Amino acid sequence: MSGQRTTASDPYFPANGDPRYRVHRYELALEYRPGPNRLAGTARLSAIAGRAALTEFHLNLAEFRVGRVLVDGRTPHYAHRGGKLRIRPAKPLPAGAAFTVEIHWAGNPKPVRSPWGGIGWEELTDGALVASQPVGAPSWYPCNDRPADKASYHISVNTPSAYTVVAGGRLLTRTTRASTTTWVYEQPAPTSSYLVGLSIGMYQTVLLGDPGLDGVPQSAHVPAHLLPRFSRDFARQPAMMRLFEELFGPYPFGEYAVVVADEELDVPVEAQGLSLFGANHLDGVRSSERLVAHELAHQWFGNSVTIADWRHIWLNEGFAKYAEWLWSERSGGHTAHERATAAHRLLAVSPQDLLLADPGRKLMFDDRLYQRGGLTVHAVRCALGDGPFFRMLRDWAAVHRNGVVTTAAFTAHASRYATGPLDELFAAWLYAPALPPLPSASPAAALPAMPGYPPSDGGPGRGSA
């Protein structure tokens, strides 16, 4: 496990998160009524103070009504304004001390404003879902909203019994009393606040693959009328799981679920052990299959191995993009080098003002970051050769499982698998805006195709979250 915890505010979102302490567990008890879109919750946070005594600290929470706050069972001074809950304990918390925070809140959840529009809690026509990347988590619960602060989660949701509740992690219990049902989920793996997924809707639950054969339990929660298309579009996900375990190492969590909302979503979004898709990503002919691969790959790259702050987002999106190309290569479609060639052609006629290792908040979700990130991973593959490259990938995922990483950590890691210096390669691809030349094909040219699959459709698509 990586120990690279940062002690500074995120440079892209300095108002989010508090590096003076860290949370190691959240226990959330929620009641949600879809009709009036009413959410009431209690959160219990188990946290540890940093290297200095805490006379005050803050959490991020949207404009709910806060009913009560306790620190170690005592009422502190607190103020809740502008999406921040500032808390001053009755007595300063010593450096390194463990402490608990209890917060009661209620109101009508809605997305928080961001440069990309509203993100976080989204009320649907019949239900709700959460897609929090990068700073939407405070739209529904109080949190230390920074990607490096990873914690385990216990989530209880009470809602009318007609609805299915899906959260990342293992479903512990489902208890019905009168007209409501309480769903309880446990996610023991350290999880960033933006990766806590939740969906409430009218879903049919189906299993994918054979857990005895595939190893990882995979489920899907889909509106009944979309099941025929879903069964075609997601038919190859179990094969993706087998391939990615071969290439990246064991799946890092206990289970994997997908939700298809009965709404259109701009892009699918990853959460820990969970991915959220829209009805528009189903057409019965697998047009969005690359996105299925992309979101699954994030479970290794982004979710288990998590960036220390948002400057390093290419480590999430470049690896997930390259996983799309590897799936294409192994499922009988275009090789990764052919995909890279198409992506390079696209970038060559695009503006050359993106610094991959530090794109800035404005460009952190730019399509070019996805494509150039995939090309950078391909350049490393070409430089290392397939054997060392895939050993490097598996070791990266293993060494930093449940941990926090930076671009510098990756470049140092990859360099250990090279026969010569990679400094010029990384300087060109990560730290200069001009597009470097297309790398030559890797020595293996293409991985052997997985048997039994027809060719995939071609062409590099747009980036997904």
Catalytic residue annotation: 295, 370
Cα 268 from Cα 465, distance rounded (Å): 6
Coil/strand/helix, residue 65: strand
Reduce the DSSP state of residue 340 to 3 states and report it: helix
Contact in structure between 329 and 336 (CB atoms under 8 Å)? yes
The residue among 323, 54, 303 whose CA lies nearest residue 193 is 303
Give 161's Cβ-side CA count (13 Å radius). 8
Show Cβ contacts of residue 126 under 8 Å, excluding neighbours closer than 6 positions: 34, 201, 202, 262
* 3 state SS of 299: coil
Q: Which two tokens stand for residue 353?
A: 């003002």
First vs last C-alpha separation in the chain: 25
| Residues 394/247, Cβ–Cβ less than 8 Å | yes
Q: At what angle do helices 289-297 and 237-248 cross, to 10 degrees?
A: 40
Whether residue 298 is annotated as binding a ligand: the answer is yes
Q: What are the start-end ranges of the H helices in 20-157? A: none
What is the residue type of 27?
E
Interatomic CA distance for residues 113 and 128, integer angstroms:
17
Would you say 317 is a known binding-site residue? Answer: yes
Q: Which residues are annotated as a binding site?
A: 294, 298, 317
Q: Which residues are annotated as a binding site for Zn(2+)?
A: 294, 298, 317
